């Protein structure tokens, strides 16, 4: 939070059990059939479905944890904040993931936020779904004044602030399956139910362990300092707390700071309750401070790593079964793929295009990263692990078509569509189309609208395709002079992203000189 005056308390309503449990479709259970009517389609039991589950087990539901409020900072059930973990009887996590490239989307075209993520999976906030506990009701944030000129100026200033880090900054909304942080920039503090003098508010996620948070910056309340405010609020999303050095962008009051300082600075509680929440992270970078000092620059390097250009596309090495494989009724197979990339940040999405079970014929079925599909993959999952999609155990006769898409933080992408056929046993007839879904196909282009895609025309060319385009927003301009990825309508629904085949392209950001890779220290 940045203020022109003393910090003001933030009231954030916690979700009720009923709200937290609400979802448009049944949740997927690993190792179990997708539905009672489809025993032959089983979700793979291939490990934890979330980073929190890998840390604490599948019984931990972050939406049932009341957010901790510290001035205008919010530590929710996904924050890994010390007090939240202690309240839940959970241990401090080991910091065992390497620096990972990030994406920051600047939402400056107007956006509507909701306090609840009514998706498939328990979560407190998700930029792709336009949900965050920073608002207590559905709230509209308008465009900031100044139009495209303001957008360009704020983008350039934020690129300057974050130039040292491997962070892609864009005004184009990325595809929903690619984890990204969203900075909502527009309106005043009153839009979020805050008092005068509050310039911005944010969730905090210690060590940047959550990469799809939301922050709010209010240019109508704090004129002329929009980028400075947005820099601090987004840094809160990645685990930085306030410091007492005026020249640091994490100083809690607007003082014209222009950098994340590379020094150990005392944590400031001028606008809070006096308790530091990410102590176990801070002490890695400032051991003598024992968790009460912060090196803002060092921690951001630990989260993202140094700026490094990425022009190498991820590659789908193989899919299984291979395109054109023919099975006989009574046989079973696992739909899976092997993927590789030279970086460790990757978005992956599987879509079932043809032969869907009846329960999913209208809505589609998908599995992806970023918690926006029917089934999901855990954050920080090793890229070289197999990317299993669905286990088909003795499926009915018919044609089954699947698509896998992969994309890195810079928009480099690959995809593959393939089909297999299940033939009836010799001398028998085909299965009932109403049971298998394999006899029916629907026309039209494949789209992703909400958490699950619609069915496609079911074609199978097996070809590799180029980058999937993120939806909407204006193009990003930077030092390279290239244009940003575009696609979809960019509406404020947050998950209305159209995926089209096209040439490879890259996210736009201000490129800086390459620096040697710096690894973080690890906890036992």
pLDDT band at 58 (very low <50, low <70, confident <90, very high): confident
Tell me what the mean pLDDT of segment 112-127 comes to: 87
The half-sphere exposure of 16 on its side-chain side, counting CA atoms within 13 A, is 3
- Cβ atoms 32, 125 nearer than 8 A: no
Which of 12-16, 157-161, 352-356 is the least confident region? 12-16
The string of DSSP letters for 217-246 reads: E-TTTSTT-HHHHHHHHHHHHTT---BS-T
Backbone phi, psi, residue 179, to 5°? -60, 130
Give residue 61's pLDDT: 85
Q: Comparing 11 with 226, which gets the higher pLDDT?
A: 226
Average confidence score pLDDT of the chain: 80
352 pLDDT higher than 60: yes
Report the distance separating Cα 295 and Cα 260, nearest Å.
8
- Cβ atoms 218, 198 nearer than 8 A: yes
**Alpha-carbon 507 to chain mean position:** 16
Report the distance separating Cα 243 and Cα 262, nearest Å.
12
Give residue 438's pLDDT: 38
Give residue 428's pLDDT: 62
pLDDT in tens, 84-111: 999 999 999 887 778 999 999 999 999 9
Tell me what the mean pLDDT of segment 320-329 comes to: 98
Report the distance separating Cα 409 and Cα 229, nearest Å.
24
What's the pTM?
0.79
pLDDT in tens, 295-319: 999 999 999 999 998 999 999 999 9
In 57-165, which ranges are continuous DSSP H helix? 82-87, 147-161
pLDDT band at 25 (very low <50, low <70, confident <90, very high): low
- Cβ atoms 314, 412 nearer than 8 A: yes
The domains located in the chain, with CATH, are 1-20+61-242+304-310+473-496+509-524 (no CATH), 315-465 (2.60.40.1220)
pLDDT in tens, 505-523: 343 433 333 333 333 433 3
pLDDT band at 26 (very low <50, low <70, confident <90, very high): low
pLDDT band at 64 (very low <50, low <70, confident <90, very high): confident
Task: Indicate the pairing of strand 181-185 with strand 214-217.
Answer: parallel
Q: Comparing 219 with 474, which gets the higher pLDDT?
A: 219
132 pLDDT higher than 50: yes
pLDDT band at 272 (very low <50, low <70, confident <90, very high): confident
- Cβ atoms 256, 49 nearer than 8 A: no
Q: Which residues of 288-311 are buried (b: 16+ CB within 10 A; e: fewer)?
A: ebebebbbbbbbbbbbbbbbbebe
* Residues 6 or more apart in contact with residue 40 via CB below 8 angstroms: 33, 392, 393, 394, 395, 396
pLDDT in tens, 330-351: 999 999 999 999 999 999 999 9
426 pLDDT higher than 90: no
In 351-482, which ranges are continuous DSSP H helix? 433-436
Q: Which class for 214: exposed (0-12), middle (13-18), buried (19 or more C-beta within 10 A)? A: buried
Which of 12-21, 125-134, 216-225, 264-273 is the least confident region? 12-21
- Cβ atoms 62, 76 nearer than 8 A: yes
Residues forming beta bridges with residue 448, ordered by sequence position = 453, 497
Tell me what the mean pLDDT of segment 54-71 comes to: 85
Give residue 521's pLDDT: 39
Q: List the structure tokens of 426.
A: 């010799």
């Amino acid at each position: 939070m940045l203020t022109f005056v003393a910090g003001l308390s933030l009231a954030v309503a916690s979700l009720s059990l009923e709200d937290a449990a609400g979802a448009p479709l049944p949740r997927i259970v690993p190792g179990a059939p997708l539905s009672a009517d489809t025993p032959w389609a089983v979700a793979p039991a291939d490990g934890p479905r979330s980073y929190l589950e890998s840390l604490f087990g599948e019984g931990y539901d972050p939406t049932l944890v009341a957010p901790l409020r510290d001035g205008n900072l919010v530590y929710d059930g996904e924050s890994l904040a010390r007090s939240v973990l202690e309240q839940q009887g959970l241990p401090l996590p080991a910091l065992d993931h390497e620096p990972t490239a990030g994406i920051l989307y600047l939402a400056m075209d107007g956006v509507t936020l909701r306090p609840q993520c009514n998706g498939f999976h328990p979560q407190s906030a998700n930029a792709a779904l336009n949900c965050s506990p920073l608002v207590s009701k559905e709230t509209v944030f308008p465009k900031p004044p100044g139009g495209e000129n303001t957008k360009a100026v704020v983008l350039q200033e934020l690129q300057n602030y974050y130039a040292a880090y491997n962070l892609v900054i864009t005004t184009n909304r990325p595809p929903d399956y690619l984890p990204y942080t969203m900075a909502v920039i527009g309106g005043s503090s009153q839009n979020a139910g805050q008092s005068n003098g509050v310039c911005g508010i944010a969730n905090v996620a210690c060590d940047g362990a959550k990469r799809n948070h939301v922050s709010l910056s209010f240019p109508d309340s704090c004129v002329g300092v929009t980028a400075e405010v947005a820099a601090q609020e987004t840094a809160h999303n990645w685990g930085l707390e306030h410091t007492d050095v005026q020249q640091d962008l994490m100083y809690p009051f607007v003082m014209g700071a222009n950098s994340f300082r590379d020094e150990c600075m005392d944590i400031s509680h001028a606008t809070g309750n006096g308790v530091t929440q990410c102590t176990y992270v801070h002490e890695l970078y400032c051991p003598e401070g024992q968790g009460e000092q912060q090196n803002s620059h060092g921690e951001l390097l630990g989260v993202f790593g140094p700026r490094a250009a990425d022009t190498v596309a991820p590659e789908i090495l193989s899919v299984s079964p291979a395109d054109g494989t023919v099975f006989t009724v009574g046989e079973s197979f696992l739909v899976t793929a092997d993927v590789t990339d030279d970086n460790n940040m990757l978005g992956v999405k599987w879509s079932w295009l043809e032969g869907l079970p009846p329960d999913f014929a209208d809505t589609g079925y998908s599995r992806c990263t970023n918690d926006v599909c029917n089934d999901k993959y855990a954050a920080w999952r090793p890229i070289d692990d197999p990317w299993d999609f669905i286990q088909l155990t003795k499926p009915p006769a018919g044609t089954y078509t699947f698509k896998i898409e992969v994309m890195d933080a810079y928009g480099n992408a690959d995809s593959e569509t393939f089909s297999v056929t299940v033939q009836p046993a010799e001398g028998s007839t085909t299965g009932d189309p109403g049971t298998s879904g394999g006899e029916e196909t629907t026309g039209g282009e494949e789209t992703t609208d909400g958490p699950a895609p619609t069915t496609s025309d079911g074609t199978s060319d097996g070809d590799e395709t180029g980058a999937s385009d993120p939806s909407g927003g204006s193009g990003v301009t930077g030092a390279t002079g290239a244009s940003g990825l575009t696609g979809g309508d960019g509406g404020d629904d947050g998950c209305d992203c159209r995926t089209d085949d096209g040439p490879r392209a890259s996210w736009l950001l201000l490129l800086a000189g390459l620096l040697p890779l710096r690894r973080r220290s690890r906890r036992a």
